[in-house]
Chains A and B, each alone.
Chain A
């Protein structure tokens, strides 16, 4: 009895260190991330008055109705149009890079984890395919702008011209469709290696005896893929898709930088660009920027819940459930039910 009490007291006295150890994280998080987020909520209900653009007045949900509905004058209508376009651009660029990326990564992941295939230099391929991911987006964008230079000096144009595929240099950057396509390509180029490694670790996590059993039962590789790999890969697949969606919604670097000069054409502005240029660019409009941020926050929040559910500690969740049911049972027992 006495030893039980001391044990309890000792445990209690150590609890304080738990709080001390996690305090810096929560303090810094509250000051530099939580407060700015709440402040953004506040700004989303305000509008600048006068010329200074620093005095703000409360306008309620006006900013949200401006960007979402756009009725209420020409400014609101143009804001609405710009917002919708940036949303569409984000969607187009995300789908355009994600579909080829996931197909490529899944194929490679299946091949690289298939022990019956003899692929030479697997390690080398993995290293090379992940490499674009570590290069600074700003440098990547500058590099591709040089490679796809619009005059005959650009390496791509010069090859196309010398092979006689085109007669005049292609205006890669001036053409909205080609430019979007190039942004999709760059995003896919930078991220397929990362996705491939994630999927590979997912496949390697599948119990190998299942693959052996399938082989013994005479399943071919297509059957194995659809009946074993796909269903068991589902959690990590969802993880990859959802994190990529969240990443896609905040896509900023390449769309912002892949431009000649400082003008950005409306066809490649993403939501993150829409938000950024209204508080850090020339189009200062804090209220609208904050309102768009809040909308982005809500959408990412919903997607984040899926990840939250996947990341949650399965052992701990199961333990809690067990404890609860135990408590319930003992309660029932105590009451004699």
Chain B
């Protein structure tokens, strides 16, 4: 009798939980759904009210958007892509190198080096912004991509993650074996170290790329030329007054920046969610 009661209660609870989850999923998806629908509607029908059925005006909206020239998604896309790709490659490669150095070798300042990386892990970019901008202006790197790419070499959080990952998934004996076979240290790192930690590298590449792609703070303090602006900086122009009356093209523009990201996310979501979970595993 008691078990039957329990099962019933569990079933009721499961149903309630399911309904809450459905509601939350709707809250997460609805803004994106309305965005996509409105990107396909013309301004006049948007002004008439909300619709849940897509229309056929996307290409017209897109053409009008291009004609206005306040928002140039391809230039923004190209700039964001150049910056995010180079920064991701540098950041993940050098973080793996640093983590490998901290795991494989024994040296006097190893403990200090690791403590230093942990200590600076949480220092936000905002607190040194004034000094960073002044310095970049002085050495003539203002309005260039260099300060957006090169600093990525020092990414404490990525080093932290790669070190944790190597600690659990990298057998040190293999380095010793490579030495006996006459491989030099750097070659061992390139041909054995990197392939052994590929899954960790993949996760970190995804996160570094998303972070760089979405970064708004650093580019907006350093970049002024229209031709060098990144995609997040250009989205700003979409909510400006110059477009305010043609709603169809505003939605089309925003959709161009969100939909590709969502599609890529759907394909990588398994790895992304596993990666987030790994980041939090700290006993």
Tell me the nearest residue of chain A to B185, going by C-beta. A17
- Which of A117, A143, A193, A275 has the most CB atoms of chain B within a 10 A radius of its CB? A143
- Which of the segments A31-39, A81-89, A327-335 contacts the partner chain? A31-39
Q: Once bound together, how far apart are the Cα atoms of A128 and B25, in whole Å?
A: 6
- Grouping DSSP codes into helix (H, G, I), strand (E, B) and loop, the B interface class, with mixed when no group exceeds half, is helix
Measured CB to CB, the nearest residue on chain B to A278 is B130
Query: Which of B20, B50, B235 meets A155, CB within 8 Å?
Result: B50
**Of B38, B153, B159, B258, which one neighbours A136 at CB under 8 angstroms?**
B258
Complex interface residues of chain B between 97 and 140 (CB less than 8 A to chain A): 97-98, 100-102, 104-111, 113-114, 117-135
B59 within 8 Å of A (CB atoms): no
B231 / chain A contacts, CB cutoff of 8 Å: 136, 138
* Interfacial residues of chain A within 288-333, with CB under 8 A of chain B in the complex: 289-290, 293-294, 296-297, 300-301, 303-304, 307-308, 310-314, 316
Q: Is the CB of A22 within 8 A of B98?
A: yes
Rounded to whole Å, the gap between the CB of B256 and the closest CB of chain A is 9
- Closest-by-CB residue of A relative to B188 is A17
Q: Which of B31, B50, B272 contacts A144 (CB 8 A)?
A: B31
Contact A308 B121, beta carbon cutoff 8 Å: yes
What is the distance, in angstroms, from A244's C-beta to the closest C-beta of chain B?
12
Tally of chain A residues near chain B (CB < 8 A): 113
Q: Which bucket holds chain B's interface residue count?
A: 35 or more
Most A CB contacts (10 A, CB to CB) among B13, B32, B127, B238 go to B127
Q: 1/0 contact trace for A132-176 toward B, CB 8 Å?
A: 101111110111111101001101001100100000000000000
Residue of A nearest to B240 (CB): A261
Instruction: Assess the B210–A21 pair: CB atoms within 8 A.
Output: no
* Chain B interface (Cβ < 8 Å from any Cβ of A): 10-11, 13-14, 17-18, 20-21, 24-25, 27-29, 31-32, 34-35, 38, 46-47, 49-50, 94-95, 97-98, 100-102, 104-111, 113-114, 117-135, 147, 150-151, 153-154, 156, 159-160, 185, 189, 210, 213-214, 216-217, 220-221, 231-233, 235-236, 238-241, 247, 250-251, 254, 257-258, 261-262, 265-266, 269, 272-273, 276-283
